[in-house]
Amino acid sequence: MRLSELKIGEKAIVVKVLGRGAFRKRIIEMGFVRGQEVVAELNAPLRDPIKFKIMDYEVSLRRSEANLIEVVTNEESQSVEPLVSHGTTADDYTPAHVAELKGKTINIALVGNPNCGKTSLFNVASGANEHVGNYSGVTVDAKAGHFDYKGYRINIFDLPGTYSLSTYTPEELYVRRYLNNEMPDVIVNVVVASNLERNLYLTTELIDMDHSLVIALNMYDELERSGAHLDYKLLGDMIGVPMVPTVSRTGKGIEELFDTVIEVYERRNKSVRHVHVNHGAVIEQGINELKEDLRNSKTALRFSPRYLALKMLEGDKEVYSMLAENDNFDAIKAHSEKLRAEIEDTLHEDIEQAVANEKYGFISGALQETMTQGKQDERNVTRVIDSLVTNRVVGIPIFILLMFLMFEATFVLGAYPMSWIEEGVAALSSWLHGIMPAGPLKDLLIDGILGGVGGVIVFLPNILILYLFISLMEDSGYMARAAFIMDKAMHKMGLHGKSFIPLVMGFGCNVPAIMATRTIESRSSRLITILINPFISCSARLPIYILYIGTFFPRHVGWAFLILYLSGILVAFLTAKLLRRFHFKEDETPFVMELPPYRIPTFKATCRHMWSKAEQYLRKMGGIILVASVAVWALSYYPRPDVEGELTPQQAAEQQAESYMGRLGRAISPIVEPLGFNWKVTIALISGTAAKELVVSTLGVLYAGGDEAPEALSEKLTQPDPVTGHSDFTPLVAASFLIFVSLYVPCIASITAVAKETGSWKWGAFSVVYNTFVAWLCAFMVFQIGSLFV
């Protein structure tokens, strides 16, 4: 808790002093150091300031100052989970002991450009499984992790990638607010060692903020391979920030990095000093004048007056709102606007451009003294590959070919382990059928659980292969090129290339893909991208595609997959065009996106990504799919007819049709009969609104049959119905069904994501109604037109 929250008469133990500069130094000199007891004695009549007693003398602090001192009370110490286990007991957790433990807790924020390897470093350090993609926008929120290291508890936060700390993009605003509000103990600025000139621009802004800072020279192996040499120790001394070479892919240098973090936290690192990035005589004069105005402001307790002055000269609205609480804000603002006009008149350019020029000049000068460029050009390979994959003639065919190969491999390679799991499920089902007496329990295990969960788990290998290909394309850097080559097509739909990345991410899962739209600056483009994303076929639909394509179109697997996915993309693009034409204004947001160098994906990162998805899939098997399978079985199993022994196939079919589930399906089926669907298909589609995998598990339960030699679900779908005498599915019905499944209502998680990211449930409702209508219309056309020829 903070000292400002302490009630009058309460005691607490000081943990650490936050804030910065002269304020922090003064507070520590007054005795507010770790382990000291402080007592809140008296509030002023207006509740500010507050009188405290520490070291047997009294001191008065404003609430804003007391809010920057972290303390622990006796009550709080009792609720703290043990951070160490070296023989401590609950009785040992006194406020003094907890203060010592909390003082040994270091909060670290990872800040850096997109593609700099922050998330890789986060994963290696914390053991987390956040996915790493070689394109911007992977991290759209702060990811938190922790680990113990050399007696310290390290809390580490992976912030979104950003090129600067302005307020142009949501990432920039998020990172800046996080640093301002959370005040991490140490910022680890992750930079690409082989591209320092571009990466160090963000570093200069962090230096302006005057936070405790350590630089991780990531991908240092690439710099060494290029033949370049960097005197990073000298460079760190020059800019007042210690630098540590790292290779987060392999874990090299990570221990040295956190050793340096501890040194900086404990103020033992000799490289640390506050350096002013010189912005030229004219701008520096304006900064110095504003600094005097800001020196005694409340905001200067938390932020460097120099940083605030510079941002005011740049007309930064976020800083204006931060300073608005000061009594003399209007005068300061007027002074800053006058100085800004004078500086721009003198320099004959806008101040933002002038500041950027000076920062890059500072970087260039520092690198000239510390870095020797290598003779090898590491981007030669990148340029050669780009000349092919982004070529105007072959670029798009290459993209389509890669998609085709991905789907073909997903089915062909996955067919072998899929058949093994299928045989295992069938063998287990036969064994249970042979040893268990007839009754509801036997039917539940065989038809409900094995028929439902077993029908879906067989597709795990296919899911892994799909994510293998997606991971390789993302980690290698190809996905950014896909956005580049699709930019013109996206413009024709009223979007731009940056919208393509969330759409491609939708092949994996629509939920994180919808969240990834936060990187799109234009609100209208972001909303359109969110609304069309559910049309992109996610991996949850893959079991349905594999089941039906493998059963009804085995000779054209790759093409069938490609047509399904391209159909969803086509409908998404047409929807975007309609939304831009009739609802949203025209948007001409410029397409600015980094094309990172190609990198060879690491085996470890790829396996981690695949295992993460497998883990999610297995959790879903044991969670929502198991529960839903049992529910579907129960509703289709009861009421039971008054018949002794096991039902014949015809009796079982009639019982199922008259069950609770059958009655519901038959009541709704007239809506989907024009698409060629019966009541069983209707029920499967309804259950798929919770999670698309439930379509297969529901079909697995409804077509279980319960005979002594259980066939695979694919075989059951082609068998004649005992009542009607013909199969429920033909190739035409299967095609209609696949089109409907690929386009209809998103799952509940996606609907929630749409509502959350758009800020309104009306857009979630729009997705439900519009997507289902489009799916019905397309499936109707497929079935009715197909019926004319088949």
Q: How many CB atoms lie within 10 A of CB 483?
A: 24
pLDDT of residue 138: 53
Q: Answer yes or no: is pLDDT of 488 > 80.
A: no
Say whether pLDDT at 732 is over 80: yes
CB atoms within 10 A of CB 313: 25
pLDDT tens, position by position, 22-32: 667 777 777 78
Of 91-105, 179-193, 448-462, the range with the highest mean pLDDT is 179-193
* Contact status, residue 95 vs residue 72, Cβ threshold 8 Å: yes
More confident residue, 342 or 659: 342
Residue 749 has pLDDT above 70, yes or no: yes
Q: What are phi and psi of 554, to 5 degrees?
A: -65, -20
How crowded is residue 749: how many other Cβ atoms within 10 Å of its Cβ?
16
Q: Identify the weakest region by mean pLDDT among 37-41, 320-324, 395-399, 596-600.
A: 596-600
The single-letter DSSP state of residue 447 is I
Strand partners, 153: 105, 148
Q: Are 740 and 548 in contact (CB under 8 A)?
A: no
How many C-alpha atoms does 116 have within 13 Å on its Cβ side? Answer: 32
Q: Which two tokens stand for residue 464?
A: 């892994």
Portion of the chain with pLDDT greater than 90, in percent:
12
Query: pLDDT tens, 156-184?
Result: 988 888 888 876 667 778 888 888 878 88
Instruction: Report strand pairing: 186-192 vs 143-149.
Output: unpaired
Burial of 400 (0-12, 13-18, 19+ CB in 10 A): exposed
Check if the beta carbon of residue 197 is closer than 8 Å to that of residue 230.
no
Higher pLDDT, 254 or 474: 254
Helices (H) and strands (E) in the chain, counts: 37, 13
DSSP, res 648: P
Q: Which pLDDT belongs to residue 23? A: 66
Pick the more confident residue, 311 or 142. Answer: 311
Band of the pLDDT at 89, cuts 50, 70, 90?
very low
The terminus-to-terminus CA distance of the chain in angstroms comes to 73
Identify whether the C-beta of residue 599 lies closer than 8 Å to the C-beta of residue 134: yes
Asked if pLDDT for residue 653 goes beyond 70, the answer is: no
Average pLDDT of every residue of the chain? 80
Residues 6+ away with beta carbon under 8 Å from 475: 132, 133, 134, 599, 601, 602, 605, 606
Q: Is the pLDDT of residue 455 over 50?
A: yes
Contacts of 408 (CB under 8 A, 6+ apart): 557, 558, 561
Mean pLDDT of 191-215: 89
Look at residue 110 in the predicted model and tell me its pLDDT: 93
Predicted confidence band of residue 648 (pLDDT cuts 50, 70, 90): low
Cα separation, 736 vs 751, in Å, equals: 24
pLDDT value at residue 87: 45
Chain-centroid distance of CA 11 in Å reads 42
**Would you call 115 helix, strand, or coil by DSSP?**
coil
DSSP-derived letter for residue 161 is: P
**465 contacts 410 by C-beta, under 8 angstroms:** yes
Rg (CA), the chain: 31
Evaluate if residue 761 carries a pLDDT over 50: yes
The helix (H) or strand (E) run that includes residue 620 is: helix 603-620
Q: Any idea what the Cα angle at residue 436 is, between residues 435 and 438, rounded to 5°? A: 135
Rounded distance between C-alpha atoms, residue 497 and residue 479, angstroms: 11
Q: What residues have CB less than 8 Å from 356, skipping those under 6 apart?
A: 201
Q: Using the predicted structure, report yes or no on whether residue 746 has a pLDDT greater than 70.
A: yes
Do 21 and 73 contact (CB within 8 A), yes or no? no
Q: Is 144 helix (H, G, I), strand (E, B) or coil?
A: strand
Q: pLDDT tier at 101 (50, 70, 90 boundaries)?
A: low
In Å, what is the CA distance from 284 to each residue of 229, 288, 313, 566? 33, 6, 11, 56
Tell me which DSSP letter residue 678 carries: -
Percent of the chain as helix, strand, coil, to the nearest 5? 60, 10, 30
What are the tens digits of pLDDT across the range 245-258? Answer: 999 878 889 999 99
Which residue, among 135, 149, 236, has the nearest Cα to 193 in the 3D structure? 236
Helix (H, G, I), strand (E, B) or coil at 657: helix
Sign of CA dihedral 311, 316, 318, 323: positive
pLDDT tens readout for residues 269-311: 888 888 888 888 888 888 888 888 777 666 655 677 888 888 8
Q: What is the pLDDT of residues 328-370, one digit of tens each?
A: 788 888 888 898 898 888 888 888 888 888 888 888 888 888 8
Question: Residue 122: what pLDDT?
Answer: 87
Residue linked to tokens 């406020």: 95
Please answer whether residues 41 and 53 qualify as being in contact, where contact means their C-beta atoms are separated by less than 8 angstroms: yes
Beta carbons of 693 and 456 less than 8 angstroms apart: yes
- Kindly report which listed range (135-149, 474-488, 512-526) carries the lowest average pLDDT score: 135-149
Average pLDDT over residues 369-395: 75
Structure tokens at 504: 């491609």
CA distance 636 to 698: 10
34/300: higher pLDDT: 34
Smallest Cα–Cα separation from 501: which of 178, 176, 230, 115?
Answer: 115
Q: Which residues have CB under 8 Å from 437's CB, separation 6+?
A: none
Least confident of 5-9, 518-522, 675-679: 518-522
Task: Determine the 3-state secondary structure of 488 from DSSP.
Answer: helix
CA 460-466-469 angle, to 5 degrees, is 140
What is the arithmetic mean of pLDDT over 93-121? 77
Instruction: Supply 265's token pair.
Output: 């936290």
Mean pLDDT, to the nearest integer, of 762-768? 92
Spatial separation of the C-alpha atoms in residues 162 and 115, rounded to whole Å? 10
Q: Which helix (H) or strand (E) holds 14?
A: strand 11-17
pLDDT in tens, 668-714: 888 989 999 988 888 888 888 877 877 887 788 788 654 444 456 77
The predicted pLDDT at position 734 comes to 93
Q: How far apart are CA 382 and CA 394, in angstroms?
A: 17
Is the peptide bond prior to 720 cis by the omega test (within 30 degrees of 0)?
A: no
What string of DSSP letters covers 206-256? HHHHT--EEEEEESHHHHHHTT-EE-HHHHHHHHT--EEE-BTTTTBTHHH
Report the Cα 786 to chain-centroid distance in Å: 42
Instruction: Count Cα neighbours of 721 within 13 Å in the Cβ-side half-sphere.
Output: 15
Output the pLDDT for position 351: 85
Distance CA 197, CA 178 (A): 25
Q: Is a pLDDT exceeding 60 seen at residue 620?
A: yes
> Coil, helix or strand for 58?
strand
- 149: which 2 tokens? 């290291």
Cβ–Cβ < 8 Å for 485, 400: no
Q: Give the length of the chain.
A: 790
Spatial separation of the C-alpha atoms in residues 540 and 697, rounded to whole Å: 12
Average pLDDT of the segment spanning 260-265 = 91
Structure tokens at 88: 């401590």
What is the rounded distance in angstroms from the CA atom of residue 74 to the CA atom of residue 780?
A: 69
Q: Pick the residue with more confidence: 701 or 83?
A: 701
Q: How confident is the model at residue 782 (pLDDT cuts 50, 70, 90)?
A: very high
Query: Model pTM?
Result: 0.65
Alpha-carbon torsion 432, 435, 440, 441, what sign? Answer: negative
DSSP string spanning 265-277? HTT--TT------
Which whole number is the average pLDDT over 766-786? 94
